[in-house]
Amino acid sequence: MKHYDLIVIGAGPGGTPAATAAAQFGKKVLLVDKRGEPGGECLFEGCIPSKILENAANRYAMLQNAAEFHIDLKGAPQIHWEQVIADKEALLQKRSQAALKQIEAMPTLDFLGGEAAFVDERTIEVNGERYAFDKAIVATGARAHIPPLQGEGVAHAWTNADIFKQTKLPEEIAFIGAGAISCELVQMFAKLGVKCHILERGPRILKRIDEEAALAVQKRMIEQGIDVILNVSFGEIEGKEGDFTIHYEQNGEQKNLKVPHLLIATGRAANVEGIGLEKAGVEFDRHGIKVDETLQTSQVHIYAVGDCAVGPKFAHWASYMAGIAIHNLFAPMKHKVEMGKLSWVLFSDPQIASVGLTEAGAAKAGIEVTVEKYDYSIDARAQIDKDAEGFIKFVIDKQSGVIRGVQVLSYDASSLSGEASLIVAAGMTPMQVMGTIHPHPTLTEGFGKLAQKIFFQSMMKRGR
């Protein structure tokens, strides 16, 4: 039986960086993945394919809106969806193969395709063979969570894993759930001329996101012709691909919606079943593997990173966790994950970027804050681009004056997220942000202008 210093289960954005980092330190490592290809859900069914398709949809929408900039395009733009999907497949394979070559170039790192399961707390089994280890990292990711909806149609509905394989653009589609995945996809398809419906149990979309930003996206959806159906109680979902009927109640009235295509996106479920965690003595529940602030599980030599662990589910967070886990497994001093520095971007229209604390998060944590806002309606760059809806918010700790959170709503919030992340990670104050010279005219000027506004407000208060 082969023996390894470290075994990593799962070759996604958490597992692959962890395995390669350990190998670079000279550790003998086995990286196992059930696909037989590195990349994980993010590469094959998540953030990368969704952005490839979204990129095509956004460029298509730009052509349709060219007249707004006095550009006359003769004839209606056309999109060849099957070629977009072919490009997507080619890029995914290119990235996966590049990662595989990097793995194969490391002499102390072995890669194995197959489903891994713990036999006991020091042994796993893959393809009928057993492998011993000193330490292990579980990075098995997550999958689409299907809630207990009624009706035979539920089993025939698409998830994010299915939608990116469709070579033909659907003519009409309904989305159940109004979280991040649904909201990105529904706007993408709407830009391509697909008739779209989105159904949500709650009173608004994106219930876990800054309300002002979420409502701005909801307003844009309605302007794009998306049928936004809120405060829904679901009944049976009947039918199959090509002919679904969704029965639901809204405001006490029984309704139904007939659509040819249905996608369910109601959250993520950690991949914790079938990998023998019980035999290894690793504690978990339906939310994922239980880890402490150092990412250690209930077994001191086994760690968990990424979507399979209880906590946020983002590819970049998984990669960050990988670095923490490798350090803690092999270095004498422990590092803790810093949740207060977490950043993410929702590629909606307009986009939403968030770093650190929100106003609601601060209230929940009992932290007294002030919130200051820069409105993009007065911004030169936003006006030039004719998309001036949006804002930058600073969530400022009243006691220390440090910016504990930044939220951005803008058509290009993703490009602003890096500066927002640095502000929060460095624990900067508005005065320090004001000391940064921002080029003109750019959207990043908003950070400096907001800092100036806060400074002048404080000066006026002192002068009274």
Per-residue tokens: 13? 């954005």
In this prediction the pTM is 0.94
Task: Please report the pLDDT score of residue 458 as a whole number.
Answer: 81
What are the percentages of helix, strand and coil residues in the chain, rounded to 5? 40, 25, 35
Q: How confident is the model at residue 65 (pLDDT cuts 50, 70, 90)?
A: confident
Instruction: Reduce the DSSP state of residue 404 to 3 states and report it.
Output: strand
The CATH number that domain 2-143+269-337 falls under is 3.50.50.60
DSSP assignment letter at 88: H
Q: Which fold has domain 152-266?
A: FAD/NAD(P)-binding domain (3.50.50)
Amino acid at site 170: P
Q: What is the pLDDT of residues 244-257, one digit of tens each?
A: 999 999 999 999 99
Residues above pLDDT 70, as percent of the chain: 100
Rounded Cα distance, 284 and 291, in Å: 9
Maximal C-alpha separation, the chain: 78
Tokens of 292: 């402490």
**DSSP label of 393:** E
Omega cis (within 30) before 203: no
Of all residues in the chain, the percent with pLDDT exceeding 90 is 93
**2-143+269-337 with 152-266: one CATH topology?**
yes
Residue 82 has what pLDDT? 94
Among candidate residues 3, 80, 287, 440, the one labeled active-site is 440
3-state secondary structure (DSSP) of residue 12: coil
Token pair recorded at residue 1: 């039986």
CB 203 within 8 A of CB 227: no
Q: What is the mean pLDDT of the chain?
A: 95
Instruction: Give pairs for 241-247: CB < 8 Å, separation 24+.
Output: 241/156, 244/153, 244/156, 244/157, 244/174, 245/153, 246/153, 246/174, 246/176, 246/199, 247/151
* DSSP structure string for 207-258: TTS-HHHHHHHHHHHHHTT-EEE-SEEEEEEEEETTEEEEEEEETTEEEEEE
- Tens digits of residue pLDDT in 203-246: 999 999 999 999 999 999 999 999 999 999 999 999 999 999 99
Domain layout of the chain by residue ranges: 2-143+269-337, 152-266, 340-463
Rounded Cα gap, residues 203 and 106, in angstroms: 52
Tokens of 160: 């994010």
Does residue 440 have an active-site annotation?
A: yes
Query: What is the 8-class DSSP label of residue 274?
Result: T
**Burial of 341 (C-beta count, 10 Å sphere; 0-12/13-18/19+):** middle
pLDDT score recorded for residue 400: 96
pLDDT at 463: 62
pLDDT grade for 76, boundaries at 50, 70 and 90: confident
Return d(Cα 353, Cα 371) in angstroms, integer.
Answer: 16
pLDDT reported for residue 336: 97
Residue 127 to residue 107: CA distance in whole angstroms: 22
Q: What CATH fold (topology level) applies to the domain 340-463?
A: Enolase-like; domain 1 (3.30.390)
Return d(Cα 189, Cα 199) in angstroms, integer: 15
Per-residue pLDDT, 464 = 60
Summarize pLDDT for 393-413 with one digit per residue, the tens.
999 999 999 999 999 999 999
pLDDT tens-digit series, residues 278-315: 999 999 998 999 999 999 999 999 999 999 999 999 99
- Tens digit of pLDDT for each residue in 143-189? 999 999 999 999 999 999 899 989 999 999 999 999 999 999 999 99
Smallest Cα–Cα separation from 276: which of 140, 411, 182, 148? 140
Euclidean distance between CA atoms 341 and 321, whole angstroms: 12
Residue 461, pLDDT above cutoff 80: no
* Residue 278 and residue 257 in contact, taking contact as beta carbons nearer than 8 Å: no
